[in-house]
Amino acid sequence: MPSPPSPLPSPPPDPDRLRLYAYTLFTKLEGAVTSGMVHLGDRLGLYRTLAEAGGPLSSVELAERTGLDERWVREWAYNQAAAKLIDVEGPDRHEQFSLSPEAAAVLADEDSPAFGMGQFTRLPGLMATLDSMPEAFRTGLGHDYDSHGEDGAASVERAFEPWYRNYLIPVALPALEGVVTRLEVGGTAADVGCGAGVAVCLMAEAFPTSEFHGYDISRLALERADRRRGECGLTNAHFHAARDEPLPADGSVDLVTTFDCVHDMTHPQQVMEAIRAALRDDGVWLLVDMKARDSFAENAAKNPMAALMYGVSVLSCLSSSLSEPGGAGLGTLGLPESRARAMAEEAGFTRFRRLDVEHPINAFYEVRP
């Protein structure tokens, strides 16, 4: 029997294209390392100190104000300035560092809707999951959000809170016809996938005559939610471990909200069916999830953060959605409008409308029975 023909030799790499490819690869490594420096800058208070300075600071001044060693601060500042995250002026070894107003909003102002440090809170823990990823790839089973520890729960809380504070009550809820009026006179609302309870507590404060219930499966997140409720002194906010105390199935709920969590769920179709069973026939579901397209090609072409989102999906979102056998495995960009609409219809909803709420990452939908 004749042996199969030998494969043709691969052509040698083009030198110019080889250099360009290597450069592209190492820009990804630079981004990863600089992200680590962003985490340090946030954790050590360097950004806050620069934002509060009222003008440029030398590395000596920055080190003195933060109680840190100058040589380490200087090297960190060089990284940040080279990455164009902080501004620099002055001659060599006498540089002055500062934050632009835009940088201060993103890096230092926790009340700004543009604040972006939440996702960097759990960066070390997120990268540590790389050690367990080979086993996940072999077995198909991922890890739930509690596997990321306390920093994971704190990160999600910190990432979402600025948007909740600036837009949930004044923008998102008024976009839902009749919802604000119902909550003002006294209604019942449920936040599914409530995390650390930020949205529940804000709504409970804004509408004291209504009752708000948060449901989650994360023990760490629910612990944070209970602490927040106690600190706020709220008697109309309640939190439930969803596996032990599921949504009521008696059509008694006026409003259900889900914020950026359906794509993480192991069984999202079942959750949608539970939401439908919980809602009154004239109730409303506010579905908020990632802006996603119907195909990888569309996501890659139209979403400048597609690579980041697919990578985070492997480490977090897809991992969560595959953390149980038979998980749906939607992943970060796995719930485009077309799929969300079809799944909602299968769950028994008849009306599905995309809301005119601007957000750089999320899409907002009003879903009704």
Whether residue 1 has pLDDT greater than 60: no
pLDDT of residue 156: 87
Pick from 2-16, 22-36, 243-257: least confident: 2-16
Per-residue pLDDT band at 2 (split at 50, 70, 90): low
On average, the pLDDT of the chain sits at 95
Structure tokens at 247: 């949504």
- Of 28-37, 141-150, 250-259, least confident by mean pLDDT is 141-150
pLDDT on residue 271: 98
Q: Which pair of tokens denotes residue 248?
A: 């009521």
Sheet architecture: strand order including 362-368: 237-241, 211-216, 188-192, 253-259, 279-290, 362-368, 351-354
The pLDDT-based confidence of 37 (bands split at 50, 70, 90) is very high
Share of the chain above pLDDT 90, in %: 90
CA distance 35 to 220: 25
CB count, 10 Å around CB of 84?
9
pLDDT at 179: 97
User: Is the separation of the CB atoms in 48 and 108 below 8 Å?
Assistant: yes
Q: Which pLDDT does position 83 carry in this prediction?
A: 98
Mean pLDDT of 67-92: 97
pLDDT at 360: 87
pLDDT at residue 88 in the model: 98
The share of the chain scoring above pLDDT 70, in percent, equals: 98
Q: Encode pLDDT of 278-325 as tens digits.
A: 999 999 999 999 999 999 999 999 999 999 999 999 999 999 999 999
Q: How do residues 192-219 score in pLDDT, each as one tens digit?
A: 999 999 999 999 999 999 999 999 999 9
| Residues 107-159: tens digit of each pLDDT | 999 999 999 999 899 899 999 999 999 999 999 999 998 898 888 888 888 98
Which tens digit of pLDDT belongs to each residue from 168-196?
999 999 999 999 999 999 999 999 999 99
Confidence of residue 43 (pLDDT cuts 50, 70, 90): very high
Tell me the domains of the chain and their CATH numbers.
15-109 (1.10.10.10), 128-368 (3.40.50.150)
